[in-house]
Chains A and B, each alone.
Chain A
């Protein structure tokens, strides 16, 4: 195996017919499991509530059988149509998926259609196969049957988009709606920073991508030791020092802090040595400019 192997990741790129590129993280079986369990719990509670209310109500008029029938009807509807109807009318999300930030989409990134939503959920029954049996599980009296979900696990393992059978048939996939963690602007208060800020040319304005990379570095900087900081900062530090005509032996970590301050706190560095919030930062939110850049 000496030829380069393809890159392995859960993110996939999609280009819409309008030529807009998106990147999604596809959800595999273990990412989907908590959402499935929440939906299962909701279905069980709903069926029990309908059955109980039906039994209590119809028992008064001696028609308890109707209460049973209602319970069975609720079970049937919940089992076969709960997922499909929610995904069809809530843009690819069941309550469980909503809680865990998952959404069903077509493989080209467009919203799922009602027919796709219902069909992919009807096929969930196949996913449960094969049903396993533990004979005599109930104190030797009765056997325990349980779904193994191997019919879902194997296709999800083999497809790049982690598609189960229902997804393969309907051309859908489940993606994670990633929420970018909101981070506040980090205070920059290293010794010598103010002097270095003065050395930066007045017309120097870091590019959007440079500001984003430096912001990433600053957010993680406190986890690294001094040697590791220098090692990481050196990559950009050397190129930037050469570009700005600064001495080659400059402290690269400090230089990146100065670039960060210039990017987010302006040329005056008005927020240096403070933990003041920037305008637009409400309770731990990022400043407007950083928000724009992070996007």
Chain B
């Protein structure tokens, strides 16, 4: 990997800086990210609408929209890794190869699908059922999606002892659970703030533009899920940058860069 030519400068960063940089990355690549986001998210958003629409049409449940919101949040939480995978794949290509093709993204998505389904849907789904254990993936293996999608390690170890995704994940996440817990809590707070701002702000902006308040049905069917997916999309970018940061620290990418430029200087002098 050539660290000199990466689109994002290789150096260690704190989590607040990562959150800030993700905003800029989001703004700089909004078109392809939006396309990748829509391609990944749209099927899940439609599925959620089909699954949960009964809550909104049934008069009795309409008395308690909290249930609808809770189920919608749980589904989005579970679907987020698969839905945002095309965004992660795009960011991987844009960062390291500085070129991208939708075809390659689709083929890589397809190839990663079995591992993604096993780790991020089946495993996380089981952990979510127990509720209190739902936090575990975010503390012990938060960057598993990025490993599966970008590193493409095999599911099972073969005779040549190649590094499996599980072992690679263990190597990457080992000894940093405390820090990852802090990052997860910070992400929840930032996510809640962003969601409230986007959902509340867009409702007011729509009112100012059209002169009408959006109906409650539109708010629950469209506005709230849209704000939720936007926040999850933003956090796909944050997670990608945080994953890079962890690898930079674990593998000393910036040390290697500094020594390589020193080697070039020595060669020049010689």
Contacts and interface: CB of A to CB of B under 8 A. Distances in A.
Interface of A: 1-2, 4-5, 7-11, 25, 27-31, 33-34, 130-134, 146, 148-150, 153, 156-158, 160, 162, 209-210, 212-214, 216-217, 220, 223-224, 228, 231-233, 235-236, 238-240, 242-243
A153 B27 CA distance: 11
B98 A1 contact: yes
A211 B261 CA distance: 13
Given A10-B21, A156-B23, A239 B197 contact: no
Interface residues of B, number: 50
B17 A5 contact: no
Contacts of A158: 27
A223 B252 contact: yes
Contacts of B28: 8
Interface in B237-258: 249-252, 255-256, 258
A235 B259 contact: yes
B266 A243 contact: yes
Contacts of B204: 130-133, 148
Given A5-B94, A238-B263, A228 B20 contact: no
19 contacts: A7-B7, A7-B9, A28-B20, A28-B23, A28-B24, A130-B205, A132-B203, A148-B198, A148-B200, A148-B204, A150-B197, A158-B27, A212-B258, A213-B261, A223-B250, A224-B252, A233-B259, A235-B260, A239-B266
Given A217-B259, A232-B252, A235-B260, A240 B266 contact: yes
Nearest to A4: B98
Given A130-B204, A130-B205, A134-B200, A9 B21 contact: yes
A202 B166 CA distance: 50
Contact of B20 (A4, A7, A10, A212): A10
B3 to A, nearest CB: 11
A130 B208 contact: yes
Contacts of A239: 263, 266-267, 270
Contacts of B255: 216-217, 220, 232
Contacts of A216: 255, 258
Interface of B: 5, 7-9, 11, 13, 16-17, 19-21, 23-28, 32, 94, 98-100, 190, 196-201, 203-205, 208, 249-252, 255-256, 258-263, 265-267, 269-270
Contacts of B8: 7-9
A209 B265 CA distance: 10
A10 B11 CA distance: 11
Contacts of B260: 235
Given A1-B99, A223-B250, A236-B266, A28 B17 contact: yes
A188 B190 CA distance: 43
A235 B20 contact: no
Given A10-B21, A28-B17, A236-B262, A149 B94 contact: no
A5 B94 CA distance: 8
A150 B206 CA distance: 14
Contacts of A149: 197
Contacts of A148: 196-198, 200-201, 204
Given A5-B7, A31-B17, 17 more contacts: A10-B20, A148-B197, A149-B197, A153-B23, A153-B197, A160-B24, A162-B24, A213-B262, A217-B258, A223-B249, A235-B260, A236-B263, A236-B266, A238-B263, A239-B263, A239-B267, A240-B266
A212 B261 CA distance: 12
Nearest to A219: B255
B270 A146 contact: no
A132 B251 CA distance: 45
Contacts of B208: 130
A242 B270 contact: yes
B205 A29 contact: no
Contacts of A232: 252, 255-256, 259
A158 B13 CA distance: 20
Nearest to A207: B265
Q: By CB atoms of chain B within 10 A, which of A5, A210, A223 has the most?
A: A5
B20 A150 contact: no
A217 to B, nearest CB: 5
Contacts of B258: 212-213, 216-217
B237 to A, nearest CB: 11
5 nearest A-B pairs in the assembled complex, by CB-CB distance:
A28-B20, A132-B200, A148-B201, A9-B9, A30-B19
A219 B263 CA distance: 19
Nearest to A252: B259
Contacts of B21: 8-10, 28
